[in-house]
Structure 1
Amino acid sequence: MKLNYTFLYLIPLALFFLLDNMFMELAAPHNPDLQGTLINTLAKGLAGMSILYSAYKFQSMSSSMRLAFFMTGLYLFILALESYYKYSTFFVYPHVFLKTLVFFYGIFIYTFYKNNFHLKMHHLVYFILIGFWANVLIINPGALSISSFTEHERGVHSTSVYMLIIPFLYFLTQYFFKAKWYSLPMMFFVLLTIFFFQHRTVWVSTVIVLGIYYLLFRFKTNTPIGIGKILPIIGVIVAGGLASSAFLFSMHPEIITKILENFSDIENFNKQGTGSWRYNQWLSYLPFIKENFFLGMRFAGFELPIQFYRDDIDKPVFEDGYGHFFHSFYVDVLFYAGFIGLCLYLIQAFRVIWKTIKMSRLTENQIMLVSFILSGFVFGLSYILPPYFYALLGLAIVMLEEDQTEKTSYLVAFAARKKRELLALRQKLISF
């Protein structure tokens, strides 16, 4: 029997997923200090590996990715010189350097899969699902109860639930493109999981993903979305809604109250719920961002005392001396690295957008990844983008540059032309 070793090509990508709290809790259960040490050690190691490998494969990059590599490397070099000039050491605060080093994660994944394009998406999907449910069942089993839902004890981190959008899109794609029998129930199972863990930003991101996915599916593929494929989805939603109303909601009316409360928090994000907490944090640091908009505060930002105070005890929310922990990618980057730092990210993100617009047709994997990456612009409003997001960004770029659709179209056209030539030859032979 011949073994398929393509799953080994998941390893470089999986390393960046391991930085998520979901996997670190499995590695060091109920030991936050060890989890933090493991994350910092792995993050630094991956950053160093990303720079070295990307430099080694520099010639294989496209011109835009070479620009991304050069600009990010130049920024870090200048930052190291500033550190040496002010503190007599090249890397005084690793926390500040990591704000930019993460951009190399995407470049590394891009260069690796540019030269080893053998990754299978289903390997990634099941890696995520197994890791997620292992965490829930082993580390956070209490999070599955009705009381945890109504009391908003989510247990699982937002970035871990955000990760589930990839399996959701995968099964949705399998249903529309390949009509796999198990894809529809799996899609709803993943969607229900996203809903149950109540990260409202992930809810909004999922809605945005669906909108982007539909537009790409509609205008970038030749696969129609007929009524035959829509009716089963509507049927499952209606049946699920009736069953929930008849049994679950009637027995636990507090669930309806909690759901309505969540939607109210989304609608009034700046006045109630965790949204108001984030909003007040943004306002606390806005003056510093305005004063240092282009270059950011860098090391001075790390040394700045905590500006975000709790009203109930009139004390800082975080401890001084450990840096500032923001609940927004945009605030985080603008505070530490300024608009220049944000541009380093946008070089890669806009590469995805430009290639998507330019290409006439997209494959199912390209549509999945582009939809997910574009949702990051929304998710980043409320959370710092996780390390695996940058890895998927690099994967999206290399998949778009491989341009599988155009290659496939060329092969199909070539085969059709040869078939016509053979038929014409056959007709001549018959006539003869």
Structure 2
Amino acid sequence: MKLNYTFIFAFPLILILLMDPIFIELIAPWREELQGTIQNTLVKATTALAFLYSALRIQRMKPFMRVVFVLVTLYLFALVFESYYRYGTPMVYPHVFQKLLIFYYTFFMYTFYKKHDYFQLKHVVYLVVVVFVLNLVLINSHALSISSFTNHERGVNASTMYLLVIPFLYFTGRYLFKGGLFYLAMTFFVLFAIIFFQHRTVWICTIVILAIYTFLVKFKGNTPVNFGKLIPVAVVLTIVGIMASAFLFTMYPEIIDKFTENFSDIENYDKQGTGGWRYQQIMSYVPFIQENFVFGMRFDGFELPIQFYRDDLNAPVFEDGMGHFFHSFYVEVLFYLGAVGMTLYLMMHFYMMKKGFTSKSLDENQILLLAFISSGIVYGFSYVLPYFFYAILGVGIAYMENKTQESKSYLPEFTRRRREKLLAMRGRLLAH
């Protein structure tokens, strides 16, 4: 019996995933101080590794990515020189540097998987699902109740639920391309979890991702998919859903009120709920972003007193001297790094999207990665992009470059089959 060693190539990506709360909580249960220490250590170690590895493997990069790498590195050196000139130390505020250093996770994954394309996404998918279940059972079991749902006690971080979208897409794709009740059951298990833990931004991202995923499968997929087989499944699920909902809502009518409240918060994002809270924070910092639009505030931003105040206490929401913690990727990058920093990120993001959407055909993994990365544009409005997102972006760029060249040499599978049938028919006609 041969052993499959391809799981080894998942380790670099898993190393970045370890920084998500779902993993940290399992490593050090109920010890928040130790969890913070572990995460800080992982951030420092992985950042150093990402920078060194990508610098040593720069020859693997395509010209465009090499240019972006050089530009990011020049900005980093400029920050080092500014820190040394103003404060006498090369890295005065690591909090500020991390906003730029996190870009190297993309270069790290890109250069690694550009060479080692034996990686199989399933290893990461099953690890995430297993760790998620273990975390719920062992750490956050209190969140698995109707009262937690109605009281909005989520128990699971938004970044974790966003990470869970990848298994959701994977199982959906497996069912569409291969079929099987197991993949269908896992699809609805993950979808139920995404809905239950009520991160409304993740809900919206999931809808956007599904729309993009469906478009890519239909118009870019290199394997034909019969969407008609979903109709009987949808009918059965609708009937079961209506019956279950009627029973559940009768027993717990407060669930209806909770869903109504959630959708009302989405509709009135700038006035109520966490959306209103984020909107107030953004408006508190807009003047500083406008005044320092090109290069951001950098170290002055770290030293700036907290501008976001609680109306009920007339006190800062966060503690001074610890940096500013934004609930928006766009606000954070523009505040600290300015339009230059935002442009450096968007160059990589749109490079992958351009590669994907202009390709003649895409395989299953390319479609999954492209759909997920596309949703970062939406997720970034409400949350800072998590560490793993930059890593997935790097994997996605490597996949696009490795497979696109390959796919240019071959017609999509369904086109090849059609041509073979036409040639066979022509042969039979000529024979007669």
Q: Compute the TM-score of the two structures, normalised by the length of structure 2.
A: 0.93
Query: Paired residue for 2:134?
Result: 134
Deviations 1:261-280 (A, max 9, x none): 10000000111101000000
Counterpart for residue 156 of structure 1: 156
Contact 2:265–2:275 at 8 Å: present in 1 too?
yes
| CA pair 180-409 structure 1, distance change in 2 beyond 3 A | farther
Secondary structure in 2 aligned to 1:403? Answer: helix
Matches within 5 A, 1:177-188: 177-188=177-188
Matched, 1:397 2:392: no
Give yes or no for contact 1:361–1:406 (8 Å, CA) kept in 2: no
- The alpha-carbon deviation at position 214 of structure 1 amounts to 1.3
Q: 1:407 Cα shift?
A: 4.2
Structure 1 partner of 2:388: 388
CA distance in 2: counterparts of 1:60 and 1:219, whole angstroms: 31
* Cα distance per residue 1:154-195 (max 9 Å; x no partner): 000000011111011001111111123311121111101100
**Does 2:74 correspond to 1:74?**
yes
Query: Where does the alignment leave 5 or more consecutive residues of structure 2 unmatched?
Result: none
The more displaced of 30-39 and 89-98 is: 30-39
Partner SS, residue 202 of structure 2? helix
Residue deviations 1:353-410 (CA, integer Å, cap 9, x gap):
1101221101110000000001011001000000000000000000000126844963
Q: Which runs of 4+ in 1 moved over 4 A?
A: 222-225
5 Å matches for 1:414-429? none
Q: C-alpha offsets along residues 293-326 of structure 1, whole Å, 9 cap, x if unaligned? A: 1110000000000000011111100100100000
Between the two proteins, the alignment pairs up a number of residues equal to: 421
Residues of 1 paired with 2:361 and 2:145: CA distance? 44
Q: Is the 8 A contact 1:334 1:342 kept in 2?
A: yes
Please tell me whether the aligned partners of residues 359 and 404 of structure 2 are also in contact (alpha carbons under 8 angstroms).
no
Q: Which moved more, 1:156-165 or 1:19-28?
A: 19-28
Matched-pair contact (CA < 8 Å) for 1:362–1:405: no
1:235 CA drift (Å):
2.2
Change (3 A) 1:24 1:285: same
Aligned to 2:342: 342
Matched letter for residue 52 of structure 1: L
Alpha-carbon spacing, 1:310–1:159, altered in 2? closer, same or farther (3 Å): same
Q: Report the AA paired with residue 403 of structure 1.
A: K
Corresponding residue for residue 285 of structure 2? 285
Give the gaps of 5 or more residues in structure 1.
none
The corresponding residue for 2:353 is 353
1:38 aligns with 2:43: no
Q: 1:351 to 1:30 in 2, by over 3 A?
A: same
1:8-407 aligned at under 5 Å gives the runs: 8-226=8-226, 228-403=228-403, 406-407=406-407
The question of whether the paired residues in 2 share the 8 Å contact of 1:60 and 1:114 is answered with yes
Whole-angstrom CA distance in 2 between matches of 1:73 and 1:107: 11
Q: CA deviation at 1:230?
A: 2.2
Q: Is the 8 A contact 1:161 1:194 kept in 2?
A: yes
In structure 2, how many angstroms separate the alpha carbons of the residues matched to 1:141 and 1:33? Answer: 21
- Shift of the 51–236 alpha-carbon distance from structure 1 to 2, 3 Å rule, reads farther
Query: How far apart in 1 are the matches of 2:50 and 2:276?
Result: 37
RMSD between superposed Cα atoms in Å = 2.1
The Cα of 1:246 is off from its aligned counterpart by 3.0
